[in-house]
Structure 1
């Protein structure tokens, strides 16, 4: 793999790809850095995927106002932001919807960390992934243009245990008849073998949905080899502090195991059948004094 130690550069990549890292990695990065990498897909490829292999940046708050890595979907500083990251949790892989990604790394004048290392590669499809942020959006490939044929994309939307997810669709135009055998969107709770929420196609917006069983939604988009539609765009958010029932389960703070957000105030109500009692055991605890 090609490896770049420079503080920012422009990279043209194929499906073999390469890697780059923060300055001085794996030693602590210097203060007052402002580095920008632009990674473009080389034709015939039209999407770029980043996968972080190591990540350790100073983190004072969840807003990442001190040291941070921010990823933009495009090839310039005005491109939309996919996410801003700091701390020691490795970000999930990121795939562009456009043909390029920008990686901006900023450090302040104080504490440094080990930094980051990420691999990159180009591909011909862009869809799917693990969505763990508190709220966000996802859409069919090429949206708002027509999606390509012969696609299969899977998104997994995750909250923390004991909480719920809300899913809403802004636009929805998939080719297909009432049986949804051609192009369709399939939603399940938990994973690919979990209970089916619904199978959707056509031009009618699916109803807003709040997860019932757990804190994970599994969303699959499939297109066949023929006619395509304009596609879909969906938004999601986490719902904290809910009523919990059943014989056993787990509850976790918002965004666990990542840092919980500021100004949080949530209450969970646990209800069991009459004659039973509730026993709570804490498995992990890290709360500001």
Structure 2
């Protein structure tokens, strides 16, 4: 079902691609690598133009985009002539990687899935020489800058290839940290992990502090960086393989833990649209003997799947404990307004999952904790519990 939805989006975008009369402008790029440029490059591009390039590589890989020349009319908000780069086929703001103009070339971008789209726009005044860019299928490694994401070994969950080496640099916002959580690891085993391994460095280079190295069937603990960057290196030798690994990464604003007796939180960027393609977790962890009640103030997510009537796309889930293995208290999407939920113990987890297209306002909640045993404060909490 999900594949059908993606294919429909691709077909829709191709049909809607604008073309400039007499000038080659936009199209679908599906080779392993290639080049494209603004109309008439390196001459002046035409006025009043809009072109869309849709790059589609093999599913399971990503797109690496690099600009070699860049010269567009400058505006401090890039309102006149500009390039917009999207992480996917959709024009949703949650997929927007950046808007660029002037003479400063955009940085190198790596998509988080196998589709990337680039829109070039010019207005009715002032023309420059435009841009030239190259793309390639990037099966292993890249710079990852989202609030959260997934890293897997090549060909996961199939066996990874021999003689492979991949480097992922995870960049969170400045003054933030990165959390890396492994959910699967199955590689060639060796006491010192000298053959096949995944290694973690506390920074963007191999010269930064080496945090850990894993192989075999180890279950790595959660890893938290001391800065806003983390380097993950995967390497395999010439023989013996395995399924590889799968790990989630989170920036600080996408992995929160609350220990106060009462509080509130909301989805990233609320009340503006949340980002696409994220998985964020909020853990409420109170002292033993406490229970937690959560009240929903707002919920506005992508709606239900019309075929299954399920929350198969963007959804918010609540678990009666500190992880996703705990009992499910509820799963919501669309504009449903959940009733208050109550934990059976002192921990409760909320998880927001968004897919690669369609973003809405998100959610906002408040919570309060209280002791199960009666006492002066507990009676006050019981009053809040019943009346609120």
Cα offset, 1:49, TM superposition: 4.1
Cα offset, 1:176, TM superposition: 1.5
- Measure, in 2, the Cα distance between the counterparts of 1:148 and 1:48: 20
Q: TM-score, normalised by structure 2?
A: 0.46
Equivalent residues of 2:47, 2:125 under 8 A apart: no
Q: Which has the higher contact order (CA 8 A, sep 6+)?
A: 1
- Measure, in 1, the Cα distance between the counterparts of 2:181 and 2:232: 12
Cα offset, 1:174, TM superposition: 1.7
108 and 20 in structure 1: CA distance in 2 versus 1, 3 angstrom threshold: closer
Indicate the SS of the match to 1:33.
strand
The answer to whether residue 68 in structure 2 is matched with residue 53 in structure 1 is yes
Structure 2: which 5+ residue stretches go unaligned?
Answer: 1-22, 254-268, 273-388
Q: TM-score, normalised by structure 1?
A: 0.59
38 and 263 in structure 1: CA distance in 2 versus 1, 3 angstrom threshold: closer
- Measure, in 2, the Cα distance between the counterparts of 1:180 and 1:239: 30
Equivalent residues of 1:20, 1:118 under 8 A apart: yes
Q: Which has the larger radius of gyration?
A: 2
24 and 137 in structure 1: CA distance in 2 versus 1, 3 angstrom threshold: farther
**Partner residue in 2 for 1:92:** 108
Map 1:6-45 to 2 at 5 A: 6-11=24-29, 13=31, 18-23=34-39, 27=44, 31=48, 33-38=50-55
- Measure, in 1, the Cα distance between the counterparts of 2:124 and 2:242: 51
- Measure, in 2, the Cα distance between the counterparts of 1:142 and 1:25: 38
Cα offset, 1:110, TM superposition: 9.1
Map 1:160-179 to 2 at 5 A: 160-179=173-192
Q: Out of 139, 159, 166, which is 2:152 matched to?
A: 139
Q: Higher helix proportion, which one? A: 2
- Measure, in 1, the Cα distance between the counterparts of 2:245 and 2:30: 30
Q: CA RMSD in A?
A: 4.2
